[in-house]
Structure 1
Amino acid sequence: MSEPSTSGGYIRRLSLWDAALIVVGGIIGGGIFLNSYIAAQRTSSGIALLLVWVGAGVLTLLGALCYAELGARRPRAGGSYVYLRDAFGSLAGFLFGWTMLLVIYSGSTAAVATGFATYTAAVFNLPPTIVRPLAVGGLVFIIGINLFGLKLGAQIQNLFTLLKLLAVAMLVVCGLVFAGVGSSNVLTADPSHIGVGFMGAALPVLFAYSGFTYLNNLAGEVRNPQRTLPRALLLGMLLVIVAYALVNIAYLAVLGHAGLANSPTPAADVMQHVAGPIGAKLIAVGIAISTLGFCNITLVSGARVLQAMGEDGLFFRGVARLHPKHHTPNVALILLTGWTMLLTITGSYGQLLDYATFGDWLACAFGVATVFWYRRHDDGHAPLDFRVPGYPWPPILFIATVGWIMVQSLISSPVNTGIGLLIILAGVPVYYVWRRLFSPAEP
């Protein structure tokens, strides 16, 4: 039985199974298949590389626990936008939506769509000139699915996620069993150099963990959200951390740390080494499916943010409308997908990666900070099924660590991360101009 939503006209159709797969699918995109070699270049050993991946996973888990409480408190469409608006005012909410549209969701989706097209072209031996048109075609396919209701979109997303988990399992089994784990001294390291390059490696690794907040954007369509959201976030995050660690061990077992650092396509190289050309093509198909599933989640969840902003008068009123039959924010979905297509055609993967990662994790830090506001202003109004264990340390550790990484990324990559910061700040005058022209009521 579906439960009508109390906000925005959405229908609560997503089960625990659907929600958990959204968490997994929203995190596992192309990062684990594309970014391990960058992290290897910036670390000195296999053990240092694994520490970066596991450490980033634990950090993300702390953030996910905070978002689990936030989702239980405000189980409605919009996620981070709603939390920032409630805690810090409409300007903060607008800046999140502005940055999400221009950089965070659109930029990461464009980058991953390019990865989808790259691997698809490799499977079918297509020329490089086909990559960008193919990426745009993938985005058109996604929007076509989701214009006709969340039920069909969720079913296809579940299939995408299960297939990407199958690809991960195939990669791990081939890397660890057939290649012989331990034969390449995976964990051998010079202890004095374990921390070398951690900060440089953190940004591409964090990109691979981006997406744990996407389920909260769909909270208005989750059944029994006070219980389902926390369970789905916890289960999904634990599965992702284990999967990422095993995949990197498989890379190291076959390629070694030095070989991984020189392999832009480590998954394909591992499968090529173990199973020849057939193995390389199989994993390329798995990666293409994985990246397409990630794009599906970002666009669907991002459209819910724009729809919530439209309801508040902080964006075009038209994007607030839901389709009368399918209960989907089709106008918002078309707008977000259209901008993503433009970035796909004109941008490069590396630039979009840096812009999106910086903005995404900055937004996550501020989103987690809203837990303190809700604890002070919201407690006692309604019973909660989930609270962050060990409060206040998880949000404090998350905010402090992300802040440190953001500062270091500004120092190490000032141009790209600086552009990302300027895009965020550019939303301030836009907000005040918007209010003057359209005079939206204060949410």
Structure 2
Amino acid sequence: MSSSPTPSGYLRSLRPWDAALIVVGGIIGGGIFLTPGIVAQRTNSGLTLLLLWVGAGLLTLIGALCYAELGARRPHAGGSYVYLREAFGPLAGFLFGWTMLLVIYSGSTAFVAKIFAGYASTLFGLSSAWAMPLTVGALVFVAGLNLFGLRLGARIQNLFALLKLLAVAVLVVCGLFLAGAGHAQILAVDPAHHGTGFMSAALPVLFAYSGFTYLNNLAGEVRDPQRTLPRALTLGMLLVIAAYVLVNVAYLAALGHAGLAASQAPAADVMQMVFGSFGARLIALGVAISALGFCNITLVAGARVLQVMGEDGLFFRSVARLHPRYKTPNIALLILIGWSILLGVTGSYSQLLDYATFGDWLACAVGVATLFWYRRHDDATIRFRVPGYPLLPLVFVAVIACVVFATMRDNPVNAGIGLIIIAAGVPVYFIWRHLFRP
């Protein structure tokens, strides 16, 4: 298919490789450079740690396959918002968009922009006073990239994704072959750590894999979406799983399980073992690029949700307008970037992110659940269907339900406030319909 406009006015300009790299960029942020140390603290061996990363990756792959079918059924902008609206009604779609704007996308964007600022300061030897200007500057920069068409933004995003994969490759080579440690300790049991329970260890791993749904928000701009979406989601997820597992193997080879558990920044520690301070600065560059690429995708994907909500009358009508030349939802993009900057400047993003982090996976599970509705009510002819239906979607929903319940049990205050934020959208929805709908 060519770059022809869709019914909403978007241009289908994303090629299969562009789409696959969006999947990679939407998942790999700064977490893989930091999270494995936390997971090591909660496990008792390298084998257990690696099984968690492989298992969580396979679970996420199941979710990605489910979203591939959903995207093939509805190859339009909006992703989860569209699926929830059609399967469970406009209130469900609105609550997704409400939480996405208020907390999930904006909060995670501000949080990761802060990570970018920290590593950029380290890279260039800047004082802490530069943290806020760099945070705001990063958000303005990625927004500016996408005001002039997705094609330009996709080229920059491809560069970000390839550079972060290069950073991962350098880290793997250094950990496995140059750090001077033995490979025998990769699977060894660490007697100093007895573990803290499966769910406690699995939570940070699952959070590191979140973000695979972003591509579906851009489905209206993907060429030949029924063929491209399944291939891109599958290829992107396989690349992420390989990257995550190999990085953890490299950490264990270089630091051992005990050393990984004691490390606050394992990527920097491994690189410093090989190249000294230059290595630490080099990986700081990799993390900064990775963070910038993640912010780029969350803003672009979130803006498409707001634009479709505007079309439906569940957000300001002006937000539905696309730029007449570039076919980009610039008003939606500016609203999302403005709110993300406000969260970053006030510092409230961290609290909001803690309150509703589990909401992201909750939305994924509910999104996958819509597949059962589509199988019953939608007779569209599509090229791709989830293998192992209904077992695989049921497994995904059941596991994520356990994660959500475990989060609520272990952190009831933050989870409760997160639920309140979601529930607050209910009266807002009815007030909005009363004031702005005929």
Provide TM-score, normalisation by structure 2: 0.96
The separation in 1 between residues aligned to 2:180 and 2:233, in whole angstroms, is 33
Specify which of 420, 423, 426 is matched with residue 428 of structure 1: 426
Q: Does 1:394 align with 2:384?
A: no
The separation in 2 between residues aligned to 1:91 and 1:212, in whole angstroms, is 24
The separation in 2 between residues aligned to 1:102 and 1:244, in whole angstroms, is 29
* Residue in structure 1 matched with residue 294 of structure 2 by the alignment: 294
Instruction: Name whichever of 6-15 and 214-223 sits farther off.
Output: 6-15
Instruction: Name whichever of 341-350 and 137-146 sits farther off.
Output: 341-350
Specify which of 370, 378, 402 is matched with residue 404 of structure 1: 402
The separation in 1 between residues aligned to 2:369 and 2:177, in whole angstroms, is 43
Give the letter for the 1:304 counterpart.
R
* Residue in structure 2 matched with residue 259 of structure 1 by the alignment: 259
**TM-superposed deviation, 1:411:** 1.1
CA contact (8 A) 2:107 2:350 kept: no
The separation in 2 between residues aligned to 1:270 and 1:349, in whole angstroms, is 30
SS at match of 2:249: helix
Q: Deviations over 1:197-245 (max 9, x none)?
A: 3212222222211110000000000000000000000000011001100
SS at match of 2:424: helix
Give the letter for the 2:418 counterpart.
G
Specify which of 415, 418, 434 is matched with residue 416 of structure 2: 418
The separation in 2 between residues aligned to 1:5 and 1:371, in whole angstroms, is 27
The separation in 1 between residues aligned to 2:102 and 2:410, in whole angstroms, is 23
Q: Does 1:377 align with 2:371?
A: no
Give the letter for the 1:37 counterpart.
G
**TM-superposed deviation, 1:350:** 5.3
- The count of corresponding residues between Structure 1 and Structure 2 is 437
SS at match of 1:12: coil
**TM-superposed deviation, 1:161:** 0.4
* Residue in structure 2 matched with residue 150 of structure 1 by the alignment: 150
**TM-superposed deviation, 1:7:** 2.7
Q: Deviations over 1:346-378 (max 9, x none)?
A: 236754543453111000000000000000000
CA contact (8 A) 2:356 2:415 kept: no
Percent identity over the alignment? 73
**TM-superposed deviation, 1:324:** 0.3
The separation in 2 between residues aligned to 1:436 and 1:375, in whole angstroms, is 33
The separation in 2 between residues aligned to 1:154 and 1:93, in whole angstroms, is 27
Q: Does 1:346 align with 2:349?
A: no
* Residue in structure 2 matched with residue 119 of structure 1 by the alignment: 119
**TM-superposed deviation, 1:301:** 0.6
List aligned pairs for 1:50-65, cutoff 5 A: 50-65=50-65
CA gap of 1:181–1:29, structure 2 versus 1, over 3 A, is same
Give the letter for the 1:258 counterpart.
A
The separation in 1 between residues aligned to 2:217 and 2:247, in whole angstroms, is 29
Give the letter for the 1:431 counterpart.
Y
Q: Can you give the 5+ residue segments of structure 2 that lack an aligned partner in the other structure?
A: none
Q: Deviations over 1:100-130 (max 9, x none)?
A: 0011111111111111111111111111232
**TM-superposed deviation, 1:343:** 1.4
Q: Deviations over 1:295-348 (max 9, x none)?
A: 000000100000000000001111100000000000000000111111112236
**TM-superposed deviation, 1:135:** 1.1
Give the letter for the 2:98 counterpart.
W
The separation in 2 between residues aligned to 1:353 and 1:267, in whole angstroms, is 24
* Residue in structure 2 matched with residue 239 of structure 1 by the alignment: 239
CA gap of 1:74–1:5, structure 2 versus 1, over 3 A, is farther
**TM-superposed deviation, 1:408:** 0.5
**TM-superposed deviation, 1:133:** 2.1
Give the letter for the 1:345 counterpart.
V
Give the letter for the 2:409 counterpart.
I
The separation in 2 between residues aligned to 1:276 and 1:348, in whole angstroms, is 36
Q: Deviations over 1:150-183 (max 9, x none)?
A: 1110000000000000000000000001125644
* Residue in structure 2 matched with residue 128 of structure 1 by the alignment: 128
**TM-superposed deviation, 1:89:** 0.2
**TM-superposed deviation, 1:51:** 1.9
CA contact (8 A) 2:182 2:254 kept: no
The two structures, once aligned, show a CA RMSD in angstroms of 1.7
**TM-superposed deviation, 1:132:** 2.5
CA contact (8 A) 2:104 2:353 kept: no
* Residue in structure 1 matched with residue 309 of structure 2 by the alignment: 309
SS at match of 2:419: helix
Q: Can you give the 5+ residue segments of structure 1 that lack an aligned partner in the other structure?
A: none
CA contact (8 A) 1:203 1:357 kept: no
SS at match of 1:327: coil
SS at match of 2:315: coil
Instruction: Name whichever of 174-183 and 64-73 sits farther off.
Output: 174-183
CA gap of 1:352–1:67, structure 2 versus 1, over 3 A, is same
**TM-superposed deviation, 1:195:** 6.7
SS at match of 2:387: coil
Give the letter for the 1:33 counterpart.
F
SS at match of 2:9: coil
**TM-superposed deviation, 1:184:** 5.7
**TM-superposed deviation, 1:260:** 1.6
* Residue in structure 1 matched with residue 44 of structure 2 by the alignment: 44
Give the letter for the 2:296 counterpart.
N
* Residue in structure 2 matched with residue 26 of structure 1 by the alignment: 26
Give the letter for the 2:203 counterpart.
L
CA contact (8 A) 2:64 2:213 kept: yes
* Residue in structure 2 matched with residue 281 of structure 1 by the alignment: 281
CA contact (8 A) 1:47 1:194 kept: no
CA contact (8 A) 1:48 1:195 kept: no
Instruction: Name whichever of 172-181 and 297-306 sits farther off.
Output: 172-181
The separation in 1 between residues aligned to 2:198 and 2:49, in whole angstroms, is 8
**TM-superposed deviation, 1:50:** 1.5
List aligned pairs for 1:211-222, cutoff 5 A: 211-222=211-222
